[in-house]
Amino acid sequence: MSNYLLRGIGVLAAVGAITVLAFSLPAGGEARGDDGDDVMPRLTHKAWQQECASCHIAYAPSFLPKASWRKIMGGLDQHFGENASLDPATQADILKFLEANAADAGGSRMGRRVMQGIDTQNPPLRITETRWYVHKHDEVPRSAWSRKSVGSASNCAACHRQAEQGVFDEDTVRIPK
């Protein structure tokens, strides 16, 4: 009898420990750590990477607040002039991940910087519209944006050569000719 009781307590303790551990880890798992605002926390989420990155890089969730991601994910059939519609289950799965790691989800220095210039009443649809983005890129000559090798401001990897790995620090920037 007491043997069962002890075993029961053991199981409960183990479940408790695992739960505490699980909640203390950031969603998606973080390998590099958010030690600056130029290196994104390394996030892994299968659908986000697979679906979002089929046309552009999988933009970090901390580039925009939750309200922006809700607007974007709610209008995928008209996604900046293209139909990017998903099945409802995948769409909901990705939105949940984006919300959990958004700029205003807390826990990222990068997110706090982005939030400083956000008009929460009118959440932006484009990362390039945020005051944070504009400020970060104010030294880039206007002519560079229209180069064929760059294509568009949405093409982070044209200049941020390690953008797909979440690395945006200045040492890795090379503006193509």
Partner 1 sequence: MIKRLVLTGVAALAMASAVAAAADTPASLMAHYAQAAGVPVSALSATRGAAFYRTEHAGRNAQAVSCASCHTANPKQAGQTRVGKRIEPLAPAANPQRFTDAAKVEKWFRRNCQDVLLRECSAQEKGDFIAWLAQVK
Q: Where does this chain bind partner 1 (CB under 8 A)?
A: 53-57, 77, 81-87, 150-152, 154-155, 157-158
CB of 50 to partner 1, least distance (A): 10
Is the CB of residue 36 less than 8 Å from the CB of residue 172? no
Is the CB of residue 158 less than 8 Å from the CB of residue 173? no
Q: Which is nearer to partner 1, 115 or 158 (CB)?
A: 158
Decide: helix, strand or coil at residue 164.
helix
Q: What DSSP state is assigned to residue 173? A: B
Q: Which is nearer to partner 1, 22 or 89 (CB)?
A: 89
Q: Give the closest residue to 119 by CA, choosing from 109, 128, 131, 127.
A: 131
CB of 94 to partner 1, least distance (A): 14
Length of the chain: 177
CB of 119 to partner 1, least distance (A): 25
Q: Which is nearer to partner 1, 100 or 150 (CB)?
A: 150
CB of 53 to partner 1, least distance (A): 8
What's the token pair of residue 86? 């998903």
Q: Which is nearer to partner 1, 8 or 151 (CB)?
A: 151
